[in-house]
A and B are shown apart, each in its own frame.
Chain A
């Protein structure tokens, strides 16, 4: 087995070193961000609602115009004195993009379209068939779910039946970040083809070259995932963890399999219904243990570079926000084109 290569210049963590602060995931919501709260197709002229950081977001369309309110519309007038500062007259800022409904969590005066994550692997109008969309639930805070997404070594234990193990001739991982995003790229040469590739995508080759890129918008709990398999196909995944409470996040996902042949096109989106519960097997008992004060901090191996960097960046955002600074720093243009970052169209 070939192991993931360490980066010599990574200063966040190395064997035995600890992140700079104790990690208490979900200790404070990160605010002033667009959060995808549900699939567009599910918001109609019927009033529905979703939880977000323990607030209620009532959602509906009024003559085609999207609305998001803190109270049921029948109560809005009566409760106008009780509306929170996260609304303008009881209404939250709302946008529809990439097939998702995005609501603003934070001061509505700061809501700007330029702070909406860019997802170049998804159609802007979200026009994809229903079978590519889905929803699962994870019983942990959204931060642990995002950390799990970047976790390189758990697949061999939790998802071996679908994804196989990580045997390859070469396996290189790089991690880059800005103050608001983290990008992990894993490139494998001659990786043993995953069972799902062989069974559902008709890949005859025993091995593939693979580049797996995950780009996370930290405040939004959104992961753009783009994988290129050679021989094979591109896998385009959008993972949106809606932070409902410290114990739960709902994952709305889109598997854009437009370019794939049947049956892979139909089967691969279903894999999330297997992977989600497998992850929940670890996340559900893991979550409460981060509420407990224990004297020892988590230990890390060099495979946890992305995870440690993510923890560090979340803490940096929270530290700024606890000082009342909710702005975005200039090193990141959230809505800038990320095609290059995801490596779309680039060979492995």
Chain B
């Protein structure tokens, strides 16, 4: 997991990056500054001035769109990273063309800002669900390393997520397997207060589906009815940050499924209640006690679904 890979990493909510002030973020301990140039285009540079190492995120965006360091005023082009201006140079005196910072590629999609270091880049994963107008979003930094957060999301999502009126159960209904390049698994879920039983038979009224990008762990989470109508969706960007922490950017929205509870969920969303949020405070004691579950199948180093999941994947492909 590194910014130097060929992946796009989501590093900020689009709304967090304005023309008014540059924003500093980190991917796996690499400092990156994000800003918008005079055209509003998103730019990303190494957040370390090559002159005296001041974070460029403490500087400002000039009227001509260059990012100016706050210490001595060296100014950098957002696309190439080249230093274009040093204050007080004489007319005709040039800044050496080798002066500059590392430029990252940056794009804005799905309300997230993505950055990448390489040139032979993977395409951004497609949207799994269309978004309505009313979207909730937020960011948290959690005290779990990237791989540990993903393992906890697979083994105990209820510890990490706050879902309006819905409880995710311990019961797995689909082991991790690959579907169209996504690592997918499913759990049973219930509306709060709803009986889980029809007589003595347990009925699964809602399905919690987790689809993880095996490379970056960017994830789509959804609650659906058994007829596949979608109740609520969350989109998580999970990015390794500094000191073993992980930055979580999330968006969520209520969808169009029929039924009283779904309608209530949509009404609550219209009034400002997010259907799914990432918990700002995670019960780390509960995480520590969490039994190893499906994450065991996901061999952490090569991001594959394990032998059982591989068999499932093949079976599905054959069908």
Contacts and interface: CB of A to CB of B under 8 A. Distances in A.
Genuine A/B complex: yes
Interface of A: 1, 3-4, 15-16, 151, 153-154, 156-158, 166, 281-282, 285-286, 289-290, 294, 296, 298-301, 303
Contact of B87 (A156, A158, A298): A156
Contacts of A3: 88-90, 93
8 contacts: A3-B88, A3-B90, A158-B70, A166-B88, A285-B55, A296-B50, A298-B50, A300-B51
B51 A301 contact: yes
Contacts of A294: 48
B70 A286 contact: no
Contacts, number: 61
B63 to A, nearest CB: 16
A154 to B, nearest CB: 5
B77 to A, nearest CB: 15
Contacts of A158: 70-71
Nearest to B99: A299
Contacts of B74: 301
A215 B86 CA distance: 26
Nearest to A290: B53
B73 A156 contact: yes
A170 to B, nearest CB: 13
Interface of B: 48, 50-55, 58, 70-74, 83, 86-90, 93, 96, 98-99
A299 B72 CA distance: 12
Contact of B54 (A1, A286, A299, A303): A286
A151 B50 contact: no
A221 to B, nearest CB: 18
Contacts of A281: 58, 70
Contact of B88 (A4, A151, A286): A4
Nearest to B89: A3
A213 to B, nearest CB: 20
A80 B87 CA distance: 57
Most chain A CB within 10 A, of B58, B71, B73, B89, is at B71
A303 B87 CA distance: 10
Given A157-B73, A301-B74, 11 more contacts: A154-B71, A156-B73, A157-B71, A158-B70, A158-B71, A281-B70, A282-B58, A282-B71, A296-B50, A301-B51, A301-B86
A154 B86 CA distance: 12
A285 B47 CA distance: 11
Contacts of B98: 16
A326 B188 CA distance: 74
A16 B116 CA distance: 29
Contacts of B87: 153, 156
Q: Which 6 A-B pairs have the closest CB atoms?
A: A289-B53, A3-B88, A16-B96, A153-B72, A299-B50, A282-B71
A166 B89 CA distance: 13
Given A3-B90, A285-B58, A157 B72 contact: yes
